[in-house]
């Protein structure tokens, strides 16, 4: 069972907003014709829902207050990545031949410490959780080694907290960029993450409570795997049979992303092999 903890919107949502804005990634991505079509369609669908279900003024005002609160809580990255990103990811990667991926989510940080092909992620001396050895190989679609590929990994700790988004954790805790060896191999020592609970004191938590949903994502490892001349794969890997694997609030689980770790001979840790195949650019 997952460990209960106090997730705060103030702690994680607002730092995700700040980081996203400072990336400067907000800009004109589409022509006026396309904006007209996309926004027109979305608004048309909302209008249709209002008519079909006879949405009242009270409900309209509740929506208005809630939308304002999402911004005030800094939870737009959380809201969008939990409820929309999985479809954007599906559309963006449907032509891939190589490894499938999943959503990035709100807690990626670029430029994590660079580590050799066999390495431990930065962690505290007494880092809680079952040790996990995550190993594999990065190849192209014809099976050729991608020497020196970068395997970026970030994940929550045993309590479901991400460094840089929860107070009290070392800056790069459980985040690293592992450089694969000349055969594309890597071996990463870390600990198994816990399931992640969406913060419940903010607007997203209020929506979840109002709709009677649960607030959980299954335990997951986040990865970005890249090599020169190849398409980067952003992925998440899950633990088969774990809580919420079949019921992820972010709908970001795919069968090819399930891990089956096995205990090592001495029984002190789990070990799993997972290989990545990158499409050409």
Residues that bind ligand MBD (CB under 6 A): 78, 81-82, 103, 105-107, 196, 217, 250, 252
**122 binds Fe ion, rule: CB under 5 A:** no
Shortest Å, Cβ 199 to Fe ion:
13
Helix 76-83 and helix 57-72, axial crossing angle in degrees, nearest 10: 110
**13 binds Fe ion, rule: CB under 5 A:** no
**261 binds Fe ion, rule: CB under 5 A:** no
Query: Residue 12 is inside which H or E element, if any?
Result: helix 9-22
DSSP of 166-216: STTS-TTTTEEEEEP-TTSEEEEEEEPPPPEEPPSSSHHHHHHHHHT---E
With CB under 5 A as the contact rule, the residue among 13, 105, 176, 202 that binds Fe ion is: 105
Shortest Å, Cβ 6 to ligand MBD:
16
Contact partner at residue 9 from ligand MBD, Fe ion, none, CB < 5 to 8 Å by partner kind:
none
Helix 9-22 and helix 203-211, axial crossing angle in degrees, nearest 10: 120
DSSP of 34-103: HHHHHHHHHHHHHHHHHHHTT--HHHHHHHHHHHHHHHHTT-HHHHHHHHTHHHHHHHHHTT-SS-----
Residue number of the CB atom closest to ligand MBD: 105
Residue number of the CB atom closest to Fe ion: 105
Give CA–CA dist 105/112, Å, rounded.
16
Shortest Å, Cβ 105 to ligand MBD:
3
Contact partner at residue 278 from Fe ion, ligand MBD, none, CB < 5 to 8 Å by partner kind:
none
DSSP of 43-54: HHHHHHHHHHTT
Question: For residues 105 and 205, which CB has a smaller minimum distance to ligand MBD in the complex?
Answer: 105
Q: Considering only residues 193-252, where is the footprint of Fe ion by CB under 5 A?
A: none
Question: For residues 21 and 35, which CB has a smaller minimum distance to ligand MBD in the complex?
Answer: 21
Which has the closest alpha carbon to 215: 87, 71, 78, 53?
Answer: 78
Question: For residues 66 and 108, which CB has a smaller minimum distance to ligand MBD in the complex?
Answer: 108
Q: Return the range that interacts with Fe ion (CB under 5 A); candidates 37-45, 71-79, 103-111, 165-173.
A: 103-111
Contact partner at residue 81 from ligand MBD, Fe ion, none, CB < 5 to 8 Å by partner kind:
ligand MBD
Give CA–CA dist 191/219, Å, rounded.
11
The residues of the shown chain that bind Fe ion, judged by CB under 5 A, are 105
């Amino acid at each position: 069972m997952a460990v209960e903890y106090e997730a705060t919107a103030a702690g994680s949502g607002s730092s995700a907003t700040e980081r996203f804005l400072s990336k400067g990634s907000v800009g004109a991505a589409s022509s006026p014709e396309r904006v007209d079509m996309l926004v027109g369609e979305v608004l048309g669908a909302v209008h249709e829902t209002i008519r079909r279900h006879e949405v009242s003024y009270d409900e309209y005002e509740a929506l208005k207050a809630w939308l304002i609160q999402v911004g005030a809580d800094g939870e737009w990255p959380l809201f969008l990545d939990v409820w929309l990103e999985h479809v954007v990811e599906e559309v963006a990667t449907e032509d891939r031949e190589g490894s499938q991926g999943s959503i990035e989510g709100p807690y990626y940080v670029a430029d994590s410490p660079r580590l050799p092909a066999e390495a431990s992620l930065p962690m505290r001396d007494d880092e809680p959780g079952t040790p996990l050895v995550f190993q594999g190989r990065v190849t192209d679609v014809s099976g050729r080694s991608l020497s020196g590929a970068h395997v970026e990994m970030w994940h929550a700790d045993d309590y479901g907290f991400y460094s840089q988004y929860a107070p009290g954790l070392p800056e790069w805790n459980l985040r690293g960029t592992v450089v694969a060896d000349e055969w594309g191999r890597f071996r990463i020592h870390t600990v198994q993450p816990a399931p992640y609970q969406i913060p419940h004191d903010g607007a997203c938590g209020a929506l979840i409570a109002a709709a009677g949903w649960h607030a959980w994502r299954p335990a997951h490892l986040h990865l970005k795997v890249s090599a020169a001349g190849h398409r980067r794969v952003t992925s998440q890997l899950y633990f088969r049979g774990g809580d919420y694997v079949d019921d992820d609030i972010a709908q970001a689980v795919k069968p090819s992303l399930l891990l089956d770790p096995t205990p090592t001979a001495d029984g002190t840790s789990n070990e799993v092999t997972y290989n990545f195949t990158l499409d050409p650019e």
